[in-house]
A and B are shown apart, each in its own frame.
Chain A
Amino acid sequence: MRIHSALGGLVLLGLVAACGENAEEAAPAGEAAASYPTESIRMLVPYGAGGPTDLTTRTVGACLEEELGQTVVVENMEGGSGALAMTELAGAEPDGYTLSLVTAGTTVLTPLANDLDYTKDDFTPIGVMSEVPSVVAVGENSRFASAEDFFAAAEAEPGTVTVGVPGASTPQAIELQRLADEHDVQVTAVPFNGNAEMTTALLGGNVDAVLINASSDVVENIEAGAFQPLVASSEERLSWLPDTPTFTELGYEGLTLSGSTFGLAGPAGLPDDVVTTLEDTLQTCLDSDEVRQTIGEQYVPEEFAGAEELGSILDETQQAYEPILG
């Protein structure tokens, strides 16, 4: 094991060195794009192994590998709320051999909140891989039976209703800020670290409600009756939660940004034909039943959203967040 880990380290170093060389060689060769791809593709995940981002990237990565006939290496590069991976992506050669999962959080929110050297314009959007909406949920025996109860209490006594969010710089936290700024409904946002902590806090009755990513663990809790969904973050009602109203329906217009869009993107200046190749392949992959089922049927957009749509989602988020964070 000692030898293995030492060897593993050496091999890794070797790989890193090799990647560097390849990138330099490929740099001036714009004409190589015609036959793209001719070598292995690196796909970054700005978060740790095992989460929904990892699952999505690995599933799409495996499909791209099959469709394009080149090895796709998925690499988890967590840290700095996605800043590590995004810096790596922004600095990579725009040749289509370095791609990454991106979210509005990593490309818009993190650089705005932390004065980083990159912005969303340092990336070329390719397409949407999956969309995970957020929901406002309460516990089983909550004093709020409906969204109306919840908002009535929040308006009657500003700041007394506590709502858990998955982190301080998350779309969910900003959304509660916008709820206060734009609609004058003040709740106390309590930041936790991710879904698991929020789930415990809600089940233990330590927060009144949560604004949470409706990933598979949350869906399971909703199905088991432990969570009562009150509001959905999507523009239209979710097909699998037909009885849950949206913020828009309840009169809180514009609050549609707390969900997560997992997009695929490359560095800025990616050649058009490479983008088209990747966009088409991504669409093929997302049509496959196997891919849809692995990612979760409810998370893959029914209509494919390509480079343009992903770009406008990021633009829209930037416009909404700049006044708050800039």
Chain B
Amino acid sequence: MGILDGIGQGFAVALDPINLLYVFLGVLIGTVIGVLPGLGPTATIALLLPLTYEVEPVTAVILLAGIYYGSMYGGTITSVLLQLPGEAASVVTTFDGYQMAKQGRAGPALGIAAVGSFIGGTVAVIGLTLLAPPLADLAVEFGSQEYVALTALGILLVTYLGTRHPVKSLCMAALGLLLATIGQDDITGTTRFTFGQIALFDGFDFVAVAMGLFGVGEILYNVEKTEKAQAIKTKLKNVWPSRKDFRDSSGAIARGSVMGFFIGVLPGGGGVISSLASYATEKRRAKDPSRFGKGAIEGVAGPETANNASSTSAFIPLLTLGIPANVVLALIFGALLVQGITPGPQLISQEPEIFWGVIASMYIGNLMLLALNIPLVGVFVQLLRVRSGILAAFALLVTMAGVFSVNNDSFDMWVVLLFGLVGWLMKKTGFEPGPLVLAFVLGSILETNFRRSMLLSGGEFSTFITRPMSGTIFALMALVIIISVISGIRKRRRRSRPATPGEEDLAATGTTAEPEGTPGNETTDEQAPPAESGVPRDRS
């Protein structure tokens, strides 16, 4: 069957009134749960899974897919307004989005994210339509060695992204890697650091750790800082991004769409890595990288576009190979299995109405999301008017309920509180939770795949370099490290003794792309925010 026939049949399925209703329900639920910290797409889909057994398979997947990409839109909102990532893929959005909100530009930040998400989502659906079969062939070539390369690159980027203090970032990444070793060893099956607690067998739950560090830590920090009620007067003008905003972010959106699409196809790729990669790229490309972390609109537009594109293209390995690329797709995989359908190489030919129906529903769903989000941005900006004390208590309640709902395990609630305390202390001492959480996620993937590579190669380290794909990625990493070390040395030399004019020129052209430790960065630390105005935690 040709693509045109297929997509025609798909729209016939997707435009069925019942399916239209479920697309709408899916994207609406997705947006709402994306807004709520702690209740991400994983938890929601897990909760709704039993309900989908009652409907047609294609309708079930349409609903669950809608929740997933809808949550990518919604996750932005709290990242921007409260520095609480609604789900993991929105972590990087907090870097610049929250700064924009502090500058009174919450509207444009949310507006550009919605527009970027729409473009990224749509580009990815078109890509999914055209490229699904050939791309799946490439993705399957990825072995353990490539995963090692990819996750090592991810961790390198994480520490590289720490806009404040690279040494502190490194410490946090190391702590994250250590935390990732708790629980059952994937290769030998023995338990590590569990102290006989069954609850620790599977390690700390990622959601609980992230919500504790980001959510509860931030809530505690805010509560401590603000005793007085603050009626925030954020003007609702400028909700729609300006012409300049569009011009500034058009490149980021275009690159984010393409990058997100390709990263999403990789098994295990998913939202977090794509948004990180996009952020790193935008920061590198920028003429003035020091703007990043201080409210650069590209830093919101790029990652938000990329995570939406990747959440759509992540369906490619599932629908063509039966390989779920991440936890959410694993749940959707499960929903299909329960319906008696095994996603796999034969899905396109045996169940074309599912394959094409779901794809067609994504076109419709993305349109609905754009229509929902543009007017709703105004509604969500109203959240800034709520007293932070009330919001904090409410957010804590929702976080705890959300975390409990993931595994129905009260242990996770203690983990949230513990990490909340840690997160609060980290914030007070100027450590960033981002590198810790991302290293925690990537750490177990890195370790397992490293040891798997060692098993496969018989202990030969050269396996990482001789394989073309992992070799390329490692070469790239070496280049990044060399460049940043050299420029770091230059900078130090420049500081320690008066530089010759020639050297200064070199430094100006060669090292402006180097974000870490730029002089003056220290002043943007915690001490700075109270000086800025129009902020939720304004003390005045």
Contact = CB atoms under 8 A, between A and B. Distances in A.
Question: Do A and B bind?
Answer: yes
Contacts of A54: 334, 338
Contacts of B46: 49
B184 A81 contact: yes
B187 interface: yes
B405 A8 contact: yes
A239 interface: no
B342 interface: yes
Interface in B438-483: 448, 452, 455-456, 458
B185 A168 contact: yes
B351 to A, nearest CB: 12
A19 to B, nearest CB: 13
Given A1-B33, A9-B401, A217 B335 contact: no
Contacts of A199: 321-323
Contacts of A78: 407
B321 A5 contact: no
A79 B198 contact: yes
A323 interface: no
A65 to B, nearest CB: 14
Contact of A224 (B47, B190, B333, B346): B346
A224 B36 CA distance: 43
Chain B: interface size category: 35 or more
B322 A217 contact: yes
Nearest to B457: A162
A28 interface: no
Contacts of B344: 217, 220-221, 224
B321 A52 contact: no
Interface in A174-225: 188-193, 196-197, 199-201, 203-207, 216-217, 220-221, 223-224
A81 B189 CA distance: 10
B189 A58 contact: no
A216 B342 contact: yes
A159 to B, nearest CB: 7
A249 to B, nearest CB: 29
A224 B322 CA distance: 13
Interface in A18-37: none
Contacts of A226: 345
Contacts of A193: 186, 448
Contacts of A248: none
A226 to B, nearest CB: 6
B397 interface: yes
Contact of B141 (A49, A204, A224): A204
B456 A190 contact: yes
A48 B189 CA distance: 19
A295 to B, nearest CB: 10
Most buried by B among A79, A115, A196: A196
A85 B324 CA distance: 25
A77 B401 CA distance: 18
B330 interface: yes
A141 interface: no
Interface residues of A, number: 58
Contact of B49 (A50, A52, A159, A294): A50
Contact of A55 (B49, B338, B398): B338
B201 A162 contact: no
A83 interface: yes
Interface in B178-201: 184-191, 196, 198-199, 201
Given A2-B398, A80-B201, A167-B186, A191 B452 contact: yes
Interface in B209-258: none
Which of A2, A81, A87 has most chain B Cβ within 10 Å? A2
A77 B335 CA distance: 17
Nearest to A192: B452
B409 A79 contact: yes
A12 interface: yes
Contacts of A8: 47, 401, 405
A216 B330 CA distance: 16
B452 A190 contact: yes
B198 A191 contact: no
A174 to B, nearest CB: 10
A79 B405 contact: no
B515 interface: no
Nearest to A169: B189
B402 interface: yes
Contact of B455 (A188, A217, A220, A221): A188
A12 B408 contact: yes
A304 B408 CA distance: 34
A160 interface: yes
Interface in B323-366: 323-324, 330-331, 333-335, 337-338, 340, 342, 344-346
Given A5-B405, A79-B198, A160 B458 contact: yes
Nearest to A170: B189
A260 to B, nearest CB: 16
A81 B201 contact: yes
Contacts of B530: none
B193 to A, nearest CB: 13
A196 B456 CA distance: 18
B140 interface: yes
B202 interface: yes
Interface string B159-187: 00000000000000000000000001111
Contacts of B408: 12, 77
A114 interface: yes
A242 interface: no
A196 B336 CA distance: 14
27 contacts: A1-B33, A8-B47, A9-B401, A9-B405, A48-B334, A50-B49, A50-B331, A52-B337, A54-B334, A79-B199, A80-B198, A80-B201, A87-B198, A113-B189, A114-B190, A114-B201, A115-B196, A168-B185, A188-B455, A190-B456, A197-B323, A200-B323, A203-B321, A204-B143, A217-B337, A223-B346, A224-B344
Given A9-B401, A220-B322, A224-B346, 13 more contacts: A1-B39, A6-B401, A8-B47, A48-B334, A50-B331, A50-B338, A77-B408, A83-B201, A168-B186, A196-B322, A203-B140, A217-B322, A223-B346
The 10 closest A-B pairs by CB, nearest first: A50-B334, A168-B189, A80-B201, A169-B189, A206-B143, A9-B401, A204-B140, A80-B198, A1-B32, A217-B342
